[in-house]
A = this chain, B = another copy of it.
Amino acid sequence: MMKVIVDLAIVPIGVGVSLSKYVAACERVLTEAGLQPQLHANGTNVEGDWEVVFAALKRCHEILHEMGVPRISTNIRLGTRVDRIQSMQDKIISVEAQLGLE
Protein backbone atom coordinates (compact mmCIF):
# COMPACT_ATOMS: atom_id res chain seq x y z
CA MET A 1 0.00 0.00 0.00
CA MET A 2 1.28 3.46 -0.84
CA LYS A 3 -0.29 6.42 0.91
CA VAL A 4 -0.87 9.65 -1.01
CA ILE A 5 -1.88 13.17 -0.15
CA VAL A 6 -3.69 14.75 -3.06
CA ASP A 7 -5.05 18.19 -3.91
CA LEU A 8 -7.64 18.06 -6.70
CA ALA A 9 -8.90 20.98 -8.76
CA ILE A 10 -11.45 19.83 -11.31
CA VAL A 11 -12.50 22.33 -13.98
CA PRO A 12 -15.55 21.33 -16.05
CA ILE A 13 -15.41 22.90 -19.52
CA GLY A 14 -18.40 23.64 -21.75
CA VAL A 15 -21.07 23.98 -19.04
CA GLY A 16 -20.88 27.69 -18.33
CA VAL A 17 -19.27 29.55 -15.47
CA SER A 18 -21.07 28.05 -12.46
CA LEU A 19 -19.08 25.05 -11.42
CA SER A 20 -20.07 24.45 -7.79
CA LYS A 21 -22.60 21.74 -8.70
CA TYR A 22 -19.82 19.69 -10.23
CA VAL A 23 -17.36 20.27 -7.44
CA ALA A 24 -20.05 19.12 -4.99
CA ALA A 25 -20.70 15.97 -7.04
CA CYS A 26 -17.02 15.08 -6.79
CA GLU A 27 -17.01 15.77 -3.05
CA ARG A 28 -19.79 13.19 -2.71
CA VAL A 29 -17.83 10.67 -4.77
CA LEU A 30 -14.80 11.14 -2.52
CA THR A 31 -16.87 10.78 0.64
CA GLU A 32 -18.61 7.67 -0.69
CA ALA A 33 -15.15 6.20 -1.34
CA GLY A 34 -14.50 6.44 2.40
CA LEU A 35 -12.24 9.47 2.08
CA GLN A 36 -12.58 12.67 4.08
CA PRO A 37 -12.29 15.45 1.53
CA GLN A 38 -11.27 18.87 2.82
CA LEU A 39 -12.65 21.54 0.54
CA HIS A 40 -10.69 24.77 0.19
CA ALA A 41 -11.07 27.83 -2.02
CA ASN A 42 -9.09 26.38 -4.92
CA GLY A 43 -9.48 22.64 -4.66
CA THR A 44 -10.06 19.68 -2.40
CA ASN A 45 -7.50 17.83 -0.28
CA VAL A 46 -7.72 14.10 0.37
CA GLU A 47 -5.38 11.51 1.77
CA GLY A 48 -5.48 7.74 1.66
CA ASP A 49 -4.37 4.65 -0.19
CA TRP A 50 -3.21 5.36 -3.75
CA GLU A 51 -5.67 2.91 -5.28
CA VAL A 52 -8.65 4.26 -3.36
CA VAL A 53 -7.85 7.89 -4.09
CA PHE A 54 -7.27 7.41 -7.82
CA ALA A 55 -10.29 5.15 -8.25
CA ALA A 56 -12.37 7.94 -6.70
CA LEU A 57 -10.80 10.53 -8.99
CA LYS A 58 -11.66 8.40 -12.01
CA ARG A 59 -15.20 8.10 -10.71
CA CYS A 60 -15.36 11.92 -10.40
CA HIS A 61 -14.53 12.27 -14.09
CA GLU A 62 -17.06 9.59 -15.02
CA ILE A 63 -19.84 11.13 -12.93
CA LEU A 64 -19.23 14.62 -14.32
CA HIS A 65 -19.34 13.32 -17.88
CA GLU A 66 -22.59 11.51 -17.00
CA MET A 67 -23.94 14.84 -15.72
CA GLY A 68 -23.34 16.26 -19.19
CA VAL A 69 -19.89 17.82 -18.90
CA PRO A 70 -18.25 17.36 -22.32
CA ARG A 71 -14.70 18.16 -21.27
CA ILE A 72 -12.81 18.25 -17.98
CA SER A 73 -9.43 19.76 -17.10
CA THR A 74 -8.11 18.64 -13.73
CA ASN A 75 -5.04 19.79 -11.88
CA ILE A 76 -3.61 17.51 -9.20
CA ARG A 77 -0.87 17.97 -6.64
CA LEU A 78 0.21 14.61 -5.35
CA GLY A 79 2.67 13.80 -2.60
CA THR A 80 4.15 10.52 -1.40
CA ARG A 81 6.91 10.01 1.11
CA VAL A 82 8.64 6.97 2.56
CA ASP A 83 10.87 8.63 5.16
CA ARG A 84 8.04 9.02 7.64
CA ILE A 85 4.28 8.95 8.08
CA GLN A 86 2.69 12.35 7.66
CA SER A 87 -0.98 13.34 7.56
CA MET A 88 -2.49 16.43 5.99
CA GLN A 89 -3.04 17.78 9.49
CA ASP A 90 0.65 17.18 10.30
CA LYS A 91 1.64 19.31 7.31
CA ILE A 92 -0.43 22.25 8.51
CA ILE A 93 0.79 21.90 12.11
CA SER A 94 4.42 21.94 10.94
CA VAL A 95 4.01 25.26 9.19
CA GLU A 96 1.99 26.77 12.01
CA ALA A 97 4.68 25.71 14.49
CA GLN A 98 7.24 27.59 12.36
CA LEU A 99 5.01 30.65 12.29
CA GLY A 100 4.65 30.50 16.07
CA LEU A 101 8.43 30.51 16.48
CA GLU A 102 8.82 34.06 15.28
Chain A residues close to B by CB (< 8 Å): 2, 5-7, 9, 11, 13-14, 16-21, 23-24, 27-28, 38-43, 45, 47, 50, 54, 58, 61-62, 65, 70-83, 88-89, 91-92, 94-99, 102
Contacts and interface: CB of A to CB of B under 8 A. Distances in A.
A58 to B, nearest CB: 6
Nearest to A89: B41
A31 B28 CA distance: 34
A contact face: mostly helix, strand, loop, or mixed: mixed
Contacts of A62: 2
Contact of A98 (B21, B40, B98): B21
Q: Which of A41, A45, A47, A50 has the most CB of B within 10 A?
A: A41
